[in-house]
Amino acid sequence: MKHFLDIHTTDAADLRSIIDTARATKEARAGQPKAVLDANLPLDGKMVALIFEKPSTRTRVSFDVGVRQMGGQTMVLSGADMQLGHGESIADTARVLSRYVDMIMIRTFEESTLLEMAEYASVPVINGLTNRTHPCQIMADILTFEEHNGPIAGKKVVWCGDGNNVAASFIHAAGQFGFDFTFAGPSDLDPESVFITEARKKGVKIEIERNAEKAVSGADLVVTDTWLSMHDSQSARERRHSMLRPYRVDRKLMSHANPDAVFMHCLPAHRGEEVTNNVMDGPQSVIFDEAENRLHAQKAIMGWCVS
């Protein structure tokens, strides 16, 4: 059985084939109405549970639409409304759900919840974001980069801001897809060192640079994210904002990147905080392709899980 829990724990050849399948399926569907079924239906007759313990727009809608295009059906469940949110164990929830559904996607807080779900489920489990990682997002980001700028291997990706869950999955992807990654942010918000050490062992350059302009110099992709993630306490807001202000992505910072560099943000964005409007809506921004590609990347991930 194949779970999709993280990028660094998935075989690199499988990751590559997921991206290639996503691109081919997207191209084959071009111009089709969104409710038209795909040519092949790997989820025909299958039921997929989508569990959310945190809010979501993109993950929720793209998984729901994706399952339907692949011939399956979905049920969207809020963690708070389930017995899971009232003390039933994750292990029991996983065993029960496996009797009803063919696949589980879960967005949760602690990574341990995801891992326990995967351990006890007898159907594939997909990570729809935890406090620690967001692998589906980065699969969509790789697809988006390659559509615009060709193979990502050997390219330079620069992350500006908080070394959060999305940054962590980018570091995992650097090791698996063979690109260099520079983190530009304050030392208090560095990505976990274990992620950096593991990626470096795969032979890619992972750098930490406190000067944002130096970091962005020669970048092929500049990426940022909210300064306060869903699991971060609101009380940290002011302190984070003052630490992160030098890493805001604005036009001046983007001018240090390569001329054909693209800008990404997983969204939702706080326009005027981590990024200015003129970058979000500027010629280098690919944020809405990136959001669309959640759909195509996740369909390929689900297809891989049931293959």
**Are 165 and 131 a contacting pair, CB within 8 Å?**
yes
3-state secondary structure of 112: helix
**Pick from 147, 225, 274, 290: which binds ligand NVA (CB under 6 A)?**
225
74 residue type, one letter: T
**Pick from 229, 250, 271, 273: which binds ligand NVA (CB under 6 A)?**
229
Tokens of 203: 């032979």
266 is catalytic: yes
137 is catalytic: yes
270 is catalytic: no
Q: How many residues sit in the footprint of ligand CP (CB under 6 A)?
A: 8
Q: Which helix (H) or strand (E) holds 169?
A: helix 165-177
Q: Which helix (H) or strand (E) holds 264?
A: strand 262-265
Neighbours of 207 (CB within 10 A): 15
CA separation for the pair 70, 87 (Å, rounded): 34
> Using CB under 6 A, which residues numbered 114 to 173 contact ligand CP?
129, 137
Return the number of the residue (196 or 266) whose C-beta is nearest ligand CP: 266
Based on the shown chain and the rule CB under 6 A, indicate whether residue 144 belongs to the binding site for ligand NVA: no
**Are 211 and 146 a contacting pair, CB within 8 Å?**
no
CA separation for the pair 1, 146 (Å, rounded): 29
- From residue 260 to residue 299, what is the string marking binding to ligand CP with x (rule CB under 6 A)? ------xx--------------------------------
Binding site, by residue number, is: 56-59, 83, 107, 134-137, 165, 225, 229-230, 266-267, 294
Which residues are part of the catalytic machinery?
Answer: 107, 134, 137, 225, 266, 294
Instruction: State the residues that interact with ligand NVA by CB under 6 A.
Output: 129, 164-166, 225-226, 229-230, 266
Chain residues in the site for ligand CP (CB under 6 A): 56-59, 129, 137, 266-267
